Structure 1
Amino acid sequence: MHSDRKRHVVSGLLAGLVVAARPVEAHVDYVTEEGGDSPTVVEFLTAVLSDPLHLLLLGGGGVGVAVATAGWLRYGDHLQDVTVIRRTLRSYQPYLGWLLRLAIGLPLMGAGFGGYFFSPAVPVEARLVQITLAFLLLFGFATRLAAAAGLVTYAVGLTTHFPTLLLASEYVAGFLGILVVGPGQPSADLLLRRVVLTDGTFMSRFRETTTVSDLLTRAGVGKSAAPLLIRVFLGFNFAFLGVTEKWLTPGRALQVVDKYDLTAVLPVAPEMWVFGAGLGELAVGLCILTGTFTRSAAGAGFLILTTTLFGLPDDPVLAHVTLFGLTSALLITGSGPVALDRSLIPTLRARFGHSPSTDPEVTTPAD
């Protein structure tokens, strides 16, 4: 009786997930069309997990990842190349605001002129709003206010286009990052700020005006919170896409494999291709979300996006610019606060016999 009840609960949850994911046609929707036979989730997973070769590949891949992780924990921080790369990436911090503005402003401008609302899967005209926000972000004028307005615009849209608009949840990460980091340099806001702070200028009389930055500071929200905010929503986006568009709605993803003859690149069954792609996105998403090997996970995410860019020639590149920018931002910042890179991973490194780094700048050696 207990077993039957448990089976019914699991089946109900799975069915609920499928129903929720059904409107989410995700990024594969950009390069495929509706129609044709589509396997159910059970049929898809059975095709993958009932094949001994697939289980062998998955097991071998898991062992490979475990060995690589153990090697990285033990020896990664001793590589001078890694130390130099981290130090150089951290030196790009002054341009983080600019990077985030470009990553959000460019695709938002494209969405406005393209006639869709954040995601190509939501064909709703909001040209004036999106282009205005994009212009302010790209120019770096009233940057934090524009980011706050962007968050509100997205939230309003999500209420009427849920869950489809979750495809573009990376915009939330970008808007929050900009809100916390600010415009960076170069930007119109920085130019005006310097004029305001210079004695004798006309604008210096507005020096005591309260800004969004002042309000955030009073609330105890500093720039150091940006990596955490970016990680939460970017990690969710990767994991969400991996599960919903690959595992829970495999039909369209199988069309992608067939359309681009991906089995000729890696000779495995199409179902294994789709399952592996979803597993990769899920793993990257969870690592980013939890702050586990953050820079490595962000680099893997960037590699996945680059592979998509060159492997799917008719995929709308502009729709992925935000993801490119946000993964690049995490390469610069690392994990930030509230991350396993700062708690569990150092403990694991010690257990693997790793000696502390002699580089005083390596504050998050795990990522």
Structure 2
Amino acid sequence: MAPLLVAVVASRPVAAHVDYVTEGGGSGPSVADFLVTVLSDPLNLALLAAGSAGVTVATFGWLRYGDHLMDVTVTRRTLRSYQPYLGWLLRLAVGLPLMGAGFGGYFFSPVVSVEARLVQVTLAFLLLFGLGTRLAALAGILTYLSGLATHFPTLLLSSEYLAGFFGILVVGPGQPSADLLLRRLMLTDGTIMSRFRDVTTVSDLLSRLGIEKSAAPLLIRVFLGLNFAYLGVTEKWLDPGRALQVVEKYDLTAVAPISPEMWVFGAGLGELAVGLLILSGTFTRSAAGAGFLILTTTLFGLPDDPVLAHVTLFGLTSALLITGSGPFALDRTVVPALRARVGRTPVDAGGESTPTAD
């Protein structure tokens, strides 16, 4: 249902963490030479023009007809019904790869070899069990930032962890979780835990600051969108030599008969487009679905890519499929205005007007 799925095809398997599947060093074209090679080829320009036209037509069609399909309405309603499990989803998406990082001997990213097993495994256990969830998420943010200070910019490869940690901090543990059990014990008269009912929690502090659960999609979008855009630009466009190694290693030109340079340029363009759409909250669910498709094709296309390192990205894109854009998104302003210009106001299955556009 995404209007930019057409563009995703051009960014298939090469859209991965290049540093995870290639060796450092080696010669390659400069950024300027790489861009000149891509943009001076008439065939590449024709492919880019055709892709742009396809995305434009798909976007117009989505604006005009997308919200009038009952299948779309039912899909959105079903995804929204998963909200009670959002906290659980985020905990799994962050806790599982964090546990793997701890036992694997690396610090968040497989290319940062720092022994922090005790810290990472402890945080992962608390998140997976849902015990002291918000405190664990806050500790995770501080741990990541402390590592980033000494491993910048390499650790930016795993900046999606910040999206996960902030999402958990705002959403909370969800259900099922140990925290929810303890909370119910506190709220039930006659229990031992009810004596701690008036203890101030992290949730109480966030509420006093005006930070509600509805802010979670915004926080996830910001860090996830920046991560996609950063990977697309820095790993593909600004380091074409390493990206070209991926094309050669997996013989990707046999999958699509285009030049290796166009493969790399298309991969970077796809990730950049997805990142900017998520960051700005434009067709958020569609962009998240496109990101999920990129990750899936990477999973099946690159057999030695560390799957565990991408679990957080899978979970975060899935979370946006559930929540949609959240506040401060073009889905709430520009997109409805565009839809109003190209078609009538959509009607939900229950007969009520539906302004959502993501």
The TM-score, its normalising length taken from structure 1, stands at: 0.92
Q: Structure 1 residue 359: deviation in Å?
A: 4.3
Q: Structure 1 residue 79: deviation in Å?
A: 0.6
Is 1:366 aligned to 2:357, yes or no?
yes
Q: Are the counterparts in 1 of residues 99 and 125 from structure 2 also a CA contact under 8 Å?
A: yes
Deviations 1:85-141 (A, max 9, x none): 000000000000000000000000001011111111111111000000000000000
1:232 and 1:179 mapped to 2: Cα distance? 15
Q: Are the counterparts in 2 of residues 78 and 357 from structure 1 also a CA contact under 8 Å?
A: yes
Q: Are the counterparts in 2 of residues 73 and 354 from structure 1 also a CA contact under 8 Å?
A: no
Is 1:164 aligned to 2:154, yes or no?
yes
Q: Structure 1 residue 33: deviation in Å?
A: 1.4
1:147 and 1:34 mapped to 2: Cα distance? 33
Is 1:215 aligned to 2:233, yes or no?
no
Deviations 1:299-346 (A, max 9, x none): 000000000000000000000000000000000000000000000000
Q: Percent identity?
A: 81
Q: Are the counterparts in 1 of residues 82 and 322 from structure 2 also a CA contact under 8 Å?
A: yes
Q: Secondary structure in 2 aligned to 1:84? A: helix
Q: Structure 1 residue 36: deviation in Å?
A: 3.2
1:358 and 1:29 mapped to 2: Cα distance? 45
Is 1:286 aligned to 2:276, yes or no?
yes
Deviations 1:244-272 (A, max 9, x none): 00000011110110111100110000000
Is 1:352 aligned to 2:342, yes or no?
yes
Q: Secondary structure in 2 aligned to 1:129? A: helix
User: RMSD of aligned C-alpha atoms?
Assistant: 1.1
Is 1:336 aligned to 2:326, yes or no?
yes
Q: Structure 1 residue 366: deviation in Å?
A: 1.4
2:355 and 2:290 mapped to 1: Cα distance? 18
AA in 2 matched with 1:189: D
Which ranges of structure 2 fall in alignment gaps of 5 or more residues? 1-15
Deviations 1:150-179 (A, max 9, x none): 000011111111111111110000000000
Q: Structure 1 residue 357: deviation in Å?
A: 2.2
Q: Structure 1 residue 358: deviation in Å?
A: 3.5
Larger RCO (alpha carbons 8 Å, 6+ apart): 2
1:185 maps to 175
2:39 maps to 49
Is 1:98 aligned to 2:98, yes or no?
no
1:15 maps to none
Q: Secondary structure in 2 aligned to 1:355? A: coil
**Structural mapping, 1:274-313, within 5 Å:** 274-313=264-303
Q: Secondary structure in 2 aligned to 1:146? A: helix
Q: Structure 1 residue 362: deviation in Å?
A: 7.4
AA in 1 matched with 2:267: A
Q: Are the counterparts in 2 of residues 181 and 226 from structure 1 also a CA contact under 8 Å?
A: yes
AA in 2 matched with 1:107: P
Q: Secondary structure in 2 aligned to 1:238? A: helix
Which ranges of structure 1 fall in alignment gaps of 5 or more residues? 1-25
Report how many aligned residue pairs link the two structures. 342
AA in 2 matched with 1:357: V
1:281 and 1:118 mapped to 2: Cα distance? 21
